[in-house]
Amino acid sequence: MDVQAVYILLRDGRCIYSRAYSENPADPQLLGGMLAAFNIASKQWLSDGIRKFEADGGLSFVVKDFESFIVTFQVSRNLTNEKEAFLDIIGYKFFAKYGNTLSPFEGNITIYKGFTPILDNILGVITSEEGRTKQNIKIRGIIDDDKVLDSLTIIELPRTLQKTALDLLTVKQATPEELASGSDCSVEEVEHNLENLLNQGYIMCKTIGSRKLYYIP
């Protein structure tokens, strides 16, 4: 699995959530201390976007700052740009569910245990009966740097695509079934529209087993 562990830390380095997908995860508190030290040494280090670094023992990390917290992947090798986009999705989902608990943070980290099934779903992780995890996911799509799916772009799209594009922009990621449930279109029509947007370079799709999840990187 590319992603060996996921850590969510406060900006002062305290780890409030971690999920290991390998037998050799980094110590969350040591990792947090290291990131805090990096940020003190260079206040721009975390705010410059996605950052990558290696630590002793051959451990590699990818880091993304979300102002009130930091999402970190421990990785076995360099992630593709498509999988780096998962950092944004994870950060968005975590903030949507727990943002009101972070400022001020009252020290109760047990409430974040409920994020595990959400995280596993994002990464396409399947847990076997023996408790082992594996990542069963395929990613499709190449984002065109000149194409950003926003409200202005949607106005310029063909009318048949506008409703589906707007619905996806609102939720950031969804299955065709989820988008169709709030639409006058059938699941087949919504999926056709999503594939059209994907082929034009606006969105991407990850397939988890037989489930297709379309998302905006």
Identify the pLDDT of residue 22.
80
> In the CATH scheme, what architecture does the domain 151-215 have?
Orthogonal Bundle (1.10)
Q: Which of 57-61, 157-161, 187-191 has the lowest mean pLDDT?
A: 57-61
Q: Could you tell me the end-to-end alpha-carbon distance of the chain, in angstroms, rounded to an integer?
A: 21
pLDDT at residue 17 greater than cutoff 70: yes
Q: What are phi and psi of 147, to 5 degrees?
A: -120, 115
Instruction: Give start-end residues of each CATH 3.30.450.30 domain in the chain.
Output: 3-126
pLDDT in tens, 144-186: 777 888 889 999 999 999 999 999 999 888 899 999 987 888 9
Name the pLDDT band for 131 (thresholds 50, 70, 90): very low
- Between CA 8 and CA 212 the distance in angstroms is 26
Residue 117 CB partners (closer than 8 Å, separation 6+): none
> Measuring CA to CA, which residue among 187, 182, 179 is closest to residue 203?
179
| CATH 1.10.10.10 domain extents, the chain | 151-215
- Condensed to tens digits (0 to 9), the pLDDT of residues 73-117 reads 888 765 556 567 788 888 988 998 999 998 888 889 999 999 988
Angle at which helix 187-199 crosses helix 159-171, to 10 degrees, equals 90
State the CATH class of domain 3-126. Answer: alpha beta
One-letter amino acid at 136 equals: N
Helical residues (DSSP H) of the chain, grouped into ranges: 28-41, 81-98, 116-123, 151-156, 159-171, 176-180, 187-199
